[in-house]
Structure 1
């Protein structure tokens, strides 16, 4: 049986954690030593669901503008591009510059090379920087950062899920905008924080396999009034 091939490594900024990119036949995976596999190109149903749910109200909207927090393997970005019109803009924020290069060099084919789409804009850095500086500029914001509201890898990510961070995110949305947050598990306290930040909240349970198999993942759809 062919062995997995280590293609590249990267250090997550502000941490000692290492990302390792592997290829096994036609599958790519990103692993953190000691924590296991973060993602792979064969199982991405919940990442696609994140974009489809967040962008459902934008199918016919002219000049829609959305933000994806966390490039990963590109499936959320690709799904957003699949929903939106030809005049849309999809801004993708990725903290680890090597992950952007891995998508371009190795694994972009699996998601359809979304970084090559002219509607895509890539921001290499912390998504919090965009949220703080953009004003009310997005029709949808999709967050797939760390492991969800219970940050496991980079403690700085906690800010995104605090009431302060959620208030800033709400201000970054246009009237009727949607914040969609991916999580590996349930979090009632986070759902309550979303409501205190002024969102109307709906919880969805999705599966990593498009056929409805695998662990339960959670997506919160938080809407700004005006929808």
Structure 2
């Protein structure tokens, strides 16, 4: 078997670990503290995440979407495929190295989505980005960390608790959509969405395009 080759490494935002980019043949892997966060062979659920969210709002003139978490770009590329030419997508990514890796290594995986004229790249934590602005979005898509559970950055809890969900709802335009990706299901999170004023639908989606391997969970929640 072809061995993994380390392409680059960057510190995590809290400085406690390292984010490592690896390649084996045509396969890429991003890992933190020995845990694989994403793999270029496992992208189906990210594509479905953006498709389900954007299909609900793509008819809106000048639809405005924010995506938290760039990763390998599969979510961004899928969003662009399901939005009209007048849409605007703000891609928020905490780790500057992740954006740089798209220029150097990963861009071909997502048809170089970061260069699309509809896209604005913001290197910032998604929480202060949403808190500090007065922008309103037709869809907020969160492909951050591993979802409501199994976090590698504990600060991301503030996205999924009562206060965080209230903040997210406040940044949605009327009838807006909150879409959340997770490595696994989390029934308490579904309940929190309901209590926060959302009507959530839970989808179980294959991680791989051949429907083999593990399953991921997607919440598509419309604001009441």
> For this structure pair, what is the TM-score category when the shorter chain's length is used for normalisation?
over 0.9
Match of 1:170 in 2: 169
Number of the residue aligned with 1:42:
41
Deviation at 1:61, TM superposition (A): 2.1
Alpha-carbon distance in 2 for matches of 1:118, 1:129: 25
* Aligned ranges 1:42-191 → 2 under 5 Å: 42-135=41-134, 137-191=136-190
Deviations 1:71-103 (A, max 9, x none): 000000000000001111111111111011001
Q: Does 1:25 align with 2:42?
A: no
TM-score normalised over the length of structure 1: 0.95
Contact 1:45 1:207 in 2 (8 A): yes
Runs of 4+ in 1 over 4 A off after TM superposition: none
Q: 1:4 corresponds to which residue?
A: 4
Distance 2:21 2:34 in 1: 14
Aligned mates of 2:41, 2:182 — CA distance in 1:
19
| Two-structure CA RMSD over aligned residues (Å) | 1.3
Contact 1:69 1:127 in 2 (8 A): yes
User: By how many angstroms is 1:125 displaced?
Assistant: 1.1
Deviation of the 1:58 alpha carbon: 2.4
Q: Deviations over 1:106-146 (max 9, x none)?
A: 11101100001010011101000122123351001111111
Aligned pairs, number:
224
Q: In structure 2, how many angstroms separate the alpha carbons of the residues matched to 1:164 and 1:18?
A: 29
- Structure 1, unaligned stretches of length 5 or more? none
Distance 1:14 1:87, change over 3 A: same
List alignment gaps of at least 5 residues for structure 2: none
Tell me if structure 2 keeps the 8 A contact 1:71–1:92.
yes
**SS of the residue 2:28 aligns to:** strand
The Cα shift of 1:70 comes to 0.4
Tell me, yes or no, if the aligned pair for 2:54 and 2:83 is still in contact at 8 Å: yes
